[in-house]
Each structure stands twice: as C-alpha cells, then as structure tokens.
Structure 1
Amino acid sequence: MENTPTLTRSGLADALHRKVGLSKSDALHMVEQILERMTDALASGENVKISKFGTFLLNDKDARVGRNPKTGEEATVSARRVVTFRPSEGLRMRFAGVR
C-alpha cells in the first residue's frame, strides 16, 4: 500500500494562514467551526452540499444478515445511517484519468 500524504485539520489551518493571512489560531478555529457545522447538519439529518466540491449524503441502510468472512458464521447487521460522499462533476473531471 502506498504511503500517500493526508490533509488534516492543521493542514487546512496552515493553508488558511498562508493564503489568507489569518493567524494560526484563528485559522484553526475557523476550520473547527466549519467542520462542527457540517457535523451538526449531518447529525440533524441534513445533507451537506459544497458547491464545486461535492455532497455528503445521509443514507439509511436496513438491517440484514451478513457473514463473518473468516468463519462463515451468519450475523445480523443492524439498521444504520451512513454518510457517503458524491463528488461534484468538476471534481470528478479534475481527476479523470489520474491513477
């Protein structure tokens, strides 16, 4: 498996600090507030759409019978709500053909 770099909260804050000129603490606070708002929206049942980036969608999954791949034993997988991400057309086009 490749060791690819990961964008983190502090990485986003550093980018805001460099490109916008916010202090490091203000930039980190802004990133935290944005992520908190997104989390709150998803927790309350709202989808989150970020123009030209993508949409975080809530999907309800029904309970089902699954199998332990190691033992083959059946187990009930409970109903749950999951978050999926659908990239915008622009984001998909930007990475078309990139491997």
Structure 2
Amino acid sequence: MTKQDVINQVSERTGLDSLTSRSIIESFFEVVKESLTEGEPIYIRTFGSFILKRRAPKVGRNINQNTAVTIAAHVVPSFKPSRDFTDQVRAQGITVETKK
C-alpha cells in the first residue's frame, strides 16, 4: 500500500476530498518527524509509539578493503506497535513471504 492508497482510503472513509486528506496525512507525518527530531516520543493509545532508539558504537568491516570501520553511537527512529495492534494483526493469521 502506498501513501496515495492511504490518502484515497481516508478520503473515502471520512467523506473529505482528496486534497484535504492529503494535507491531513502530510501534516501528521510532519508532526511525527518534528517531534522525534526534538527528542520527544509520540504515544498513540491502541496504535503504537514512535520512539527514538540509541545504537551503541560498534566496529564494522569494509569487505572491499578488508578494514575495520568504527561506527559511532547514533539514534534511529522506531515504531513500536501497541499490544492491541499486535494482537489484532496476529489474530488475522497472515503469513509473510520471506526473501531467500
């Protein structure tokens, strides 16, 4: 599903025109990005949390040059689904195809 598909479904379900739905969804994304950029997590009950996760420094390898590369500590955005959301998805019994 693409962002346009989401916009179309929101538009159908709310009865709003496509441009208004697009504006609302784009605004939501901007709020999430701005909040996480400022270090503030977002908690949405029954849906999930947008949080920041800290990654520790580590040593990686550049296999082309066969050298060790130090990867500095950094922060990455993450989404953690709520228990209700996870249980709802599990109840559907959907299987996901894995790449080999």
Q: Tell me if TM exceeds 0.5.
A: yes
Q: Gaps spanning 5+ residues in structure 2: where? A: 96-100
Following the alignment from structure 2 to structure 1, what is the Cα–Cα distance between the partners of residues 89 and 63?
A: 33
TM-score by length of 2: 0.80
Give the deviation of 1:76 after TM superposition. 0.7
CA RMSD of aligned residues (A): 1.8
The gaps in structure 1 that reach 5 residues or longer are: 1-6
Provide the residue aligned with 2:69 in structure 1.
75
Deviations 1:8-64 (A, max 9, x none): 222221112111111111110111011111110011001111221111110222322
Percent sequence identity is 26
TM-score under structure 1 length normalisation: 0.81
Aligned length: 93
> Would you identify which runs of 4 or more consecutive aligned residues in structure 1 move more than 4 Å?
69-72
1:16 lines up with 2:22 in the alignment: no
Write out per-residue CA displacement over residues 48-96 of structure 1, whole angstroms, 9 at most, x where no aligned residue.
1122111111022232212235665311112211112211101111122
Residues in 2 aligned to 1:81 and 1:39: alpha-carbon distance in whole angstroms: 14
